[in-house]
Chains A and B, each alone.
Chain A
């Protein structure tokens, strides 16, 4: 497949790995923000190619993992209503809330359907006028425009039986929150290329300058990720900070202006709870006044609840890069993908699940 296979090329990968090895002179901690990158790093075991000086810290960029339990509980409550079709992305269906998960609710009789696109949920609403169709929307700035488009289309088509449970989160406030904590150990970031395809690169410059570190906009294939690491190491070794676009075939500095305009029209920023991390100011979207009719929280008068994760789960420490998944006492024993205790074990981009799937040492196998 063009624009994929070239970036899985063994020769280029090995060449980049050698370049990184030559460039590095001391220990560096680099955080890849995005769960898609964590997944690729594990799937291709890029760690095997990196010199021991480089530690990759797996960041909180798994939207499924950071979706607060309260939102999942809301989704479950909605799915239990009569004449409701609850739709969401496939990987959201497995995530445990405080009492259940959506796949279990489906088995219990809830009409829960996974869709590939929020636009498909709009079509479902159009063809099922006697049902209420609710889309449970998770994701970062990459995914939010598609949801905004779905809501805009529903409005234009007067589909009053369509609404959205919005749980979108934003990357820059999360990076800022991570860097603001005193004990972080991050020397550089690989920023998420697909978020930047929408948002452009300008949001990251003030963060890089304020905290005096490199932020490298990075793609998702092995060559892309190693290129991102190489650029980060180059800047670190030279004592430079700022942003570098290492994914320029996709990301333009200005991003996708039309998609950004739509985001501004449909959403406003608000404080948002991140599962395992806590509340972060202005880090999530809710619907703007013009679209609040489509807000499932308002339409169904959902109330704020209190929901807590398992006490001994280290999800927060893992999501902020303070602990490796394998350092958690539950990892691979009481917490496994079939019975996850915390969100990073649920989604395959979650650091714990990715570690479990691809890198359990044989000692951990039962």
Chain B
């Protein structure tokens, strides 16, 4: 799936021509055409995209189809560990995987801010291409609009994703039941802390990188070898605690987390201690919560750990019939408490 591709490192639109995105690049005329052909086709091209229709003509897909949409707004656009381009592809791919689907096609709609450096757009297109190749998906259609300077954060990307639901899996948040275990594929909180540190305001110095990655390789392997997965969820905004709360509520079962098993790296821990944040509520962009029956757990862990996205996979909790609808935590000191949904956004605390 991961064919070795070559990427042009220099921007296909010469600096001498247009160094920045102009309003006219979204105007539908010659400049729009040039942007699409030189930038998007040469960066992302495939026969379906290059047909240049108003929409993509897709070959027929057997069985049920998973269809998802997502928007990506991130400040800064380039951050440690990734940029808005791979974030958009990985986020869409991972959403399809959560449905128990094989990711196939993605659409991209760009909202560009007048003045965006052409070179930066090219960097983003390159990382889109790299992420799409790694995940085995094709970019099949797209759109470009330009807004006036000051009316956007450089670039916003909206995506849709289409995947083929694998008939042998039946994945849904209601499925979790007593006796299931909760697995995660690695450290939590990295994306959120990487973004916060990249912003100037808090003046944190950390080596924490965003975990943005496609989980396609690991999850497709898991789908093929472990039938009967109950729930999948990518704990993005709102973090692990919000995802598990949603699952507990929709399945009307309880979930108990083991605090001492939670994988949190020292950079994230340190930043959270200083700011008074709880890593349970910090965003991830390359993590998957897998809930399945206890008897499949060891096999699933072995498969997940054999992939680079899952070397740190571990069991972090269990599903129980006590405290239905509630996420509870067994703390490091052996006591129990509720882990609630977050109210509002996490703000740095002084106290």
Contacts and interface: CB of A to CB of B under 8 A. Distances in A.
Interface of A: 1, 4, 8-10, 13-14, 34-36, 39, 42-46, 48-49, 62-64, 89-91, 93-94, 103, 113-116, 120, 138-139, 143, 222, 336-338, 347-349, 356-360, 362, 365
Contacts of B276: 91
A126 B349 CA distance: 24
Nearest to B277: A90
A116 B202 contact: yes
A89 B336 contact: no
B72 to A, nearest CB: 22
Contact of A91 (B273, B323, B333, B348): B348
Contacts of A143: 350
B86 to A, nearest CB: 29
Most buried by B among A1, A90, A120: A90
Interface stretch (B42-50, B141-149, B324-332): B324-332
A338 B341 CA distance: 11
B335 interface: yes
A350 to B, nearest CB: 10
Contacts of B337: 42-45, 358-359
Nearest to B336: A45
A63 B325 CA distance: 34
A45 B201 contact: no
Contact of B201 (A46, A115, A338, A365): A115
Contacts of B202: 116
A117 to B, nearest CB: 8
Contacts, number: 102
29 contacts: A1-B266, A10-B334, A13-B334, A14-B334, A39-B351, A43-B337, A44-B333, A44-B337, A45-B331, A45-B336, A45-B337, A48-B335, A63-B350, A64-B351, A91-B349, A94-B344, A94-B347, A103-B344, A114-B348, A116-B203, A116-B275, A120-B203, A337-B344, A357-B338, A358-B337, A358-B338, A359-B337, A359-B338, A362-B326
A36 B351 contact: yes
Contacts of A90: 275, 347-350
B201 A113 contact: yes
B22 to A, nearest CB: 28
B331 A44 contact: yes
A45 B332 contact: no
Interface of B: 201-203, 266, 269-270, 273-276, 323-326, 331-338, 340, 343-344, 347-351
A338 B331 CA distance: 26
A139 B335 contact: no
B336 to A, nearest CB: 6
A337 B351 CA distance: 17
Most buried by A among B323, B333, B347: B333
A48 B337 CA distance: 9
Given A1-B273, A337-B344, 15 more contacts: A1-B270, A4-B273, A8-B333, A10-B333, A35-B351, A44-B333, A45-B331, A89-B350, A90-B348, A116-B348, A222-B333, A336-B343, A347-B351, A349-B351, A356-B340
B347 A93 contact: yes
Most buried by B among A103, A113, A348: A348
A332 to B, nearest CB: 11
Contacts of B326: 362, 365
A117 B202 CA distance: 9
A91 B336 contact: no
Contacts of B334: 10, 13-14
Task: Give 8 closest A-B pairs by Cβ, nearest first.
Answer: A90-B347, A337-B343, A90-B348, A45-B335, A45-B337, A89-B350, A13-B333, A48-B335
Contacts of A365: 325-326
A109 to B, nearest CB: 14
B347 A91 contact: yes
Given A44-B331, A360-B338, A114 B351 contact: no
B350 A44 contact: no
Contacts of A49: 333, 335
Nearest to B331: A44
Given A8-B333, A120-B203, A365-B326, A338 B344 contact: yes
Contacts of A120: 201, 203
B349 A89 contact: yes
Contacts of B274: 116
Contacts of A43: 331, 337
A362 B275 contact: no
B343 A338 contact: yes
A90 B332 CA distance: 27
Contacts of B323: 362
B60 to A, nearest CB: 45
Given A14-B334, A362-B326, A365-B325, A139 B350 contact: yes
